């Protein structure tokens, strides 16, 4: 049975992943990790597909597992994944103004984590392991120490300009 690509989901690719784990439900977390590697998040259609094609699972079970673990994202991530630390050290040294500056710059509404054009996504984390450099942000793999709202605005403006976005 060959299924087509729907809403950008390549079910053949998902099948390859399931096959590499013998469609064994014990490997559900590993399967989800692989799917997330491909799409950078877990699309709903992919979770439903896994639930319907792996014996002993259901879409509800897959969804339940995916939402339980913080490592899984159910929303598409941006090309640039911004992580703002709001651990104790960063919080007392001003992570909130930095966070607010990012939200304003990206015009993120309450509860929205990825901006409209898909360029940036924002996540708040509890420690990035660089407390001596607080407040700290990361954009993809790069660490930005001692952030201020002005500094992060300049960084974002530069990336936006590089990408030719507004």
Among 38, 108, 124, 127, binds ligand FES (CB under 6 A): 127
**Is residue 98 a contact point for ligand FES (CB under 6 A)?**
no
Instruction: State how far the Cα of 91 lies from the Cα of 94, in Å rounded to an integer.
Output: 5
Residue 43 contacts residue 73 (beta carbons within 8 Å): no
92-105 core/surface letters (b: 16 or more CB in 10 A; e: else): ebebeebbebbbeb
Per CB under 6 A, the segment of 10-18, 29-37, 81-89, 115-123 that binds ligand FES is 81-89
Token pair 């799917």 in the structure block, residue: 35
- Short-list 92, 102, 96, CA closest to 153: 102
Q: Cβ–Cβ contacts within 10 Å for residue 9, how many? A: 20
Q: Does 82 engage in binding with ligand FES (CB under 6 A)?
A: no
From 7-15, 16-24, 125-133, 148-156, give the range in contact with ligand FES by CB under 6 A: 125-133
Binding to ligand FES by residue 89, rule CB under 6 A? yes
Using only the alpha carbons of the chain, give its radius of gyration.
19
Report if residue 128 touches ligand FES, rule: CB under 6 A: yes
Kindly determine how many residues on this chain lie close enough to bind ligand FES according to the rule CB under 6 A: 12
* x/- map, 132-161, ligand FES, by CB under 6 A: --x-x-------------------------
> Exactly one of 38, 119, 124, 131 binds ligand FES (CB under 6 A); which one?
131
For residue 162, give Cα distances in angstroms to 25, 78, 101, 113, 119: 44, 15, 19, 21, 11
Give the residue nearest to ligand FES (CB): 87
Q: Which residues of the chain form contacts with ligand FES (CB under 6 A)?
A: 85, 87-90, 127-131, 134, 136
């Amino acid at each position: 049975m060959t299924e087509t690509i729907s809403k950008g989901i390549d079910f053949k690719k998902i099948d390859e992943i399931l096959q590499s784990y013998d469609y064994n439900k014990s490997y559900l977390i590993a399967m989800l990790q692989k799917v997330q590697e491909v799409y950078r998040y877990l699309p709903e259609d992919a979770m439903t597909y896994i639930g319907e094609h792996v014996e002993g699972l259901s879409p509800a079970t897959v969804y339940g597992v995916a939402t339980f673990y913080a490592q899984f994202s159910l929303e598409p991530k941006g090309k640039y994944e911004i992580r703002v630390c709001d651990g104790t050290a960063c919080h007392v040294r001003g992570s909130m103004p930095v966070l607010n500056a990012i939200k304003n710059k990206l015009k993120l509404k309450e509860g929205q984590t990825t901006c409209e054009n898909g360029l940036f996504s924002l996540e708040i984390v509890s420690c990035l392991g660089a407390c001596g450099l607080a407040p700290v942000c990361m954009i993809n793999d790069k660490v930005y120490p001692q952030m201020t709202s002005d500094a992060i605005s300049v960084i974002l403006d530069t990336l936006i300009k590089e990408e030719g976005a507004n």
